[in-house]
Amino acid sequence: MRRFFALLLLTCVIVSCSESKNFTVSGTVKGLKKGTLYLQRIQDTVLSNIDSLVVDGDPEFEFSLNLEEPEVLYLHLNKVDASGYDDRIMFFAEPGEMNITTSLKNFEGFAAVIGAENQMRWTEFQKMNQKFNDKNLDLIKGSYEAQISGVQDDILRYDDSLQRLLTSKYRYTGQFASTNSELEMAPFLILSQIPDANITYLDTLYSRFPNKIKRSKYGKQLKKLIEERKSAEQE
Residues 38 and 103 grouped into a single domain: yes
Phi, psi of 54 (to 5 degrees): -85, 125
217-231 in b/e form (b: 16+ CB < 10 A) is ebbeebbebbeebee
Residues 103 and 205 grouped into a single domain: no
Residue 11 is assigned to a structural domain of this protein: no
SS (H, E, C) 36-51: EEEEEEEECCEEEEEE
pLDDT at residue 85 in the model: 52
Residues 78 and 184 grouped into a single domain: no
Residue 3 is assigned to a structural domain of this protein: no
The string of pLDDT tens digits covering residues 42-73 is 988 899 999 999 999 899 999 999 999 999 99
Residues 107 and 140 grouped into a single domain: no
pLDDT at residue 234 in the model: 83
Determine what percent of the chain is predicted with pLDDT higher than 70: 89
Residues 43 and 101 grouped into a single domain: yes
State the Cα angle at 186 between 161 and 197, rounded to 5°.
Answer: 40
Residue 135 is assigned to a structural domain of this protein: yes
Residues 109 and 201 grouped into a single domain: no
Residue 142 is assigned to a structural domain of this protein: yes
The string of pLDDT tens digits covering residues 11-22 is 544 444 445 899
Residues 130 and 222 grouped into a single domain: yes
Residues 80 and 133 grouped into a single domain: no
Residue 107's nearest CA partner among 129, 81, 131, 126 is 81
Residue 2 is assigned to a structural domain of this protein: no
Q: How far apart are CA 128 and CA 180, in angstroms?
A: 15
Residue 12 is assigned to a structural domain of this protein: no
- Give the domain range for residue 170: 120-234
Residue 82 is assigned to a structural domain of this protein: yes
How many structural domains comprise the chain?
A: 2
pLDDT at residue 15 in the model: 45
Residues 125 and 108 grouped into a single domain: no
Q: Which residue has the higher pLDDT, 10 or 113?
A: 113
> Which sign does the torsion angle of CA 100, 101, 107, 109 carry?
negative
Of 89, 114, 139, which residue constitutes the final position of a domain? 114
* Single pTM value for the model: 0.84
Does the structure show a pLDDT above 70 at 231? yes
Residues 51 and 89 grouped into a single domain: yes
Q: What is the mean pLDDT of residues 123-136?
A: 95
* Mean pLDDT computed over every residue of the chain: 90
**Strand (E) or helix (H) holding 53:** strand 46-56
pLDDT at residue 141 in the model: 95
